[in-house]
Structure formats: C-alpha cells, structure tokens
Amino acid sequence: MVGAGMAGLTAAHRLSGVTEVVILDKGRGVGGRLATRRIGDATIDHGAQFITTHTSEFAELVERLVGEHVVAPWFRGRVGPDGVNDSDGHTRFRGSVSMNAIAKSLAIGLDVRTASQVAALRHDGESWKVALVDGSELVADAVIATSPVPQTIALLQNGEVALAAKDEAALEAIEYDPCLAFMAVLDGPSGLSEPGAVDPVDGPIDWMADNFLKGISAVPAVTIHATPEFSRAQWDAPDEAITEALLVAAQLESAVISGSIQIQRWRYARPSVEHPERFLQLSGVPPFVCAGDAFGGAKVEGAALSGAAAAQAIESALGRNA
C-alpha cells in the first residue's frame, strides 16, 4: 500500500484480515491531508477541516469514531461569508483532538511504515517490486497506490511500467487544485464568530477557521486556505508576500504572534477533475489498483469509500475473501 491517508488506512483495515498488508508513507506521520501542526501551544488543522457523511457506509465509520471520542460534531449546516450557519442538514465533524488524530486512531494495529518514500514501482509479470528511496525493496503480490495520481504515474514511470493506453488516458485526465494553507498563532481572539469558521465568497481566501473556537487549540490560532486561483498565481511567491495578502483579506481582530507563521503548499489539495469510478485497476500487470479521493467522490468520505472499493478489488484479484 502506498499512502497512509484516509484511503490507504481504510483499504488496509479491510484487507488486513485477508492478507499481509504493509503501508508505506513518505510522511513523518500518518494521515496525509488529514494534517495538523503544533506551533507553540497551538494546535492547527491545516489540511481537511471537517468530515461530512453522505453514505451509510461512511456514516457507520464516523459514528463508531464518535463513540470512541476520536470524532466530534463541530457544527451543522454551511458556513456563509459572515460565519452565519445556513443549515443544509449535514453535520460537520471534526477530530476531537485534531484531524490528524483521526488517522492516528485508524492506524492502530496496522503495519504502517512512515518516513518510507517509495521511489519506483516495477513488476516482473508475477509480483511487484517496491523500491524505496533508502535503497531497500519490498516484494508484493498486489499494490494499492493512494498517492496523488501524478505521483503514482511518476512511480510507475520510474519502474518503467508500460501502461495500457486507456489506463494512461484515464490517469492523465485527473487534475487537482493547489492550496496555500496559512497558519498562525494570535495574541488574542480572532474576531471570528461561532462556530469559528468563515467561507468568503470573493477575495483570496477560500476558508478561514479559528482552531481555538473549533475546540482543538489551547490558544487562538488560525488556518487560512487560499483559493485555487490565488494559490496557483502565488505558488512561488515568498511567504512574506502570501502572508501580507492573506492577512489584509482576513481582517483578524488580534495580531499574529511574531515567528508563529507557517505556510503549507498543498500541490494536490483537492481533485478538480475526478475519475468516474471508485478505483482504477491497471490492466496487463499484476494486481495494481489506483485509489484515493480523485476516484469517484472527493473529500475524506470519497477517499475512504475509494480505499474500501480498492481493497475489495484486490481481494477479488488475489482470489481471497474477507
């Protein structure tokens, strides 16, 4: 398994009773875009902000996680430009401690190897050779790759795997929007109203949250996500220029504490063009399934459903059933 984000962790759970599963992730920890950073006393979710459920399958998982105090309701409905809650009937769930803690909880009991970057994926017609950046190699009967698709394509190219024309076209069609994620600790209240989130309609900001009002940070600390347009245009700009533009637009009530600013550049933040199915199994090679939030339904829920469907496809390909 490549990737210990929501898709990889869900797939691994499904497969772990059936076969031996190893999850490799290049990150220092698990979670991928379920990401949280500590800056001083602040806890800041800087990737996915909340989880919604639209399917009974995913709702069951979230309900279980609520029961285990890993997930908690944040607010119900949509946040408008004024922070007003115009209910759409869907609860927005947050991690009780943080969004990343959800992934940590899901990783319990799994063989997850972090700081393990895959460099190339090659096959000999029978099995896959997974080459890591550190020079080691794993042999696998099957692979599920949940890395963002352009990165999966690169891993296959590095292994000189010839893709069938239709698979190549399907993978090349998938696109992502970038996101510049700004984080900072404040010396007082942010000025955001309950529930601590704003979704502006124009300007460079796509989403802004106060992690203190969200209930995860001991001190006021903001997350500001730039729009895809701003993120694309300012991708290579110095942090100072990005900071200035976003803080002018944010109009926070309190000052940013000096030295607390961090910016995460999410190159593959959210899929803008998805594959229509929940996974793509490559043809003409040993079992290999591409999965993740770009397959058949974006967001954390889509990633989980894709991971589950990918696991099922691998079970069938290996001729085993859970």
Q: Which of residues 3-22 bind ligand FAD (CB under 6 A)?
A: 3-8
Q: Which is nearer to ligand FAD, 59 or 298 (CB)?
A: 298
User: What phi, psi does 56 have (nearest 5°)?
Assistant: -65, -30
Any idea what the Cα angle at residue 83 is, between residues 77 and 86, rounded to 5°? 30
In the shown chain, the binding pattern of residues 109 to 138 toward ligand FAD, with x for contact by CB under 6 A and - for none, equals --------xx--------------------
Q: Position 241: which residue type?
A: A
Give the residue, chosen from 53, 105, 147, 234, that forms a contact with ligand FAD under the rule CB under 6 A: 147
Residue of 12, 21, 181, 314 that binds ligand FAD (CB under 6 A): 181
Nearest approach, Cβ of residue 70 and ligand FAD (Å):
15
| Paired tokens of 68 | 């285990």
Choices 192-200, 235-243, 254-262, 297-305; region in contact with ligand FAD by CB under 6 A: 297-305
Among residues 268, 240, 266, 249, the alpha carbon closest in space to that of 198 is found at: 249
Told to check if 37 binds ligand FAD by CB under 6 A, we report no
Q: What share of the chain is helix, strand, coil (3-state, %, to 5)?
A: 30, 30, 40
Considering the rule CB under 6 A, would residue 287 count as an interface residue with ligand FAD? no
| 13, 14, 33, 214: which one binds ligand FAD (CB under 6 A) | 33
Exactly one of 26, 37, 214, 275 binds ligand FAD (CB under 6 A); that residue is: 26
CB of 187 to ligand FAD, least distance (A): 25
Residue type (1 letter), 141: D
d(CA 206, CA 226): 5
User: Exactly one of 303, 308, 311, 313 binds ligand FAD (CB under 6 A); which one?
Assistant: 303
Cβ nearer to ligand FAD, comparing 222 with 303: 303
Binding positions for ligand FAD, 214-253, rule CB under 6 A: 225
- Minimum distance, C-beta of residue 237 to ligand FAD, in the bound complex (Å): 18
Cα distance between residue 23 and residue 268, in whole Å: 20
Stretch near ligand FAD under the rule CB under 6 A, chosen from 28-36, 165-173, 183-191, 236-244 = 28-36
Q: Which is nearer to ligand FAD, 33 or 214 (CB)?
A: 33
Q: Is 74 near ligand FAD (CB under 6 A)?
A: no
CA 252 to chain centre: 27
CA–CA separation, 272 vs 208, rounded Å?
Answer: 21
Identified binder of ligand FAD from the candidate list 49, 53, 98, 211, rule CB under 6 A? 49
Q: Which helix (H) or strand (E) holds 243?
A: helix 239-250
Four-residue CA torsion sign, 185, 25, 299, 161: positive
Q: Taking the CB of residue 175, how many other CB atoms lie within 10 A of it?
A: 13
Positive or negative, the CA dihedral 254, 255, 259, 263 is: positive
Q: Does 25 bind ligand FAD (CB under 6 A)?
A: yes
- Tokens read off for 157: 């190219």
Q: At its nearest, how many Å lie between ligand FAD and the CB of residue 319?
A: 26
> Quick one: which H or E segment has residue 165?
helix 165-173
Buried b (16+ CB within 10 A) or exposed e, 197-215: bbbbeeebbbbbbbbbbbe
In the list 15, 34, 156, 252, the residue contacting ligand FAD (rule: CB under 6 A) is 34
Residues in touch with ligand FAD (CB under 6 A): 2-8, 24-27, 32-34, 47-51, 117-118, 146-147, 151, 155, 179, 181, 225, 266, 269-270, 292-293, 298-300, 303
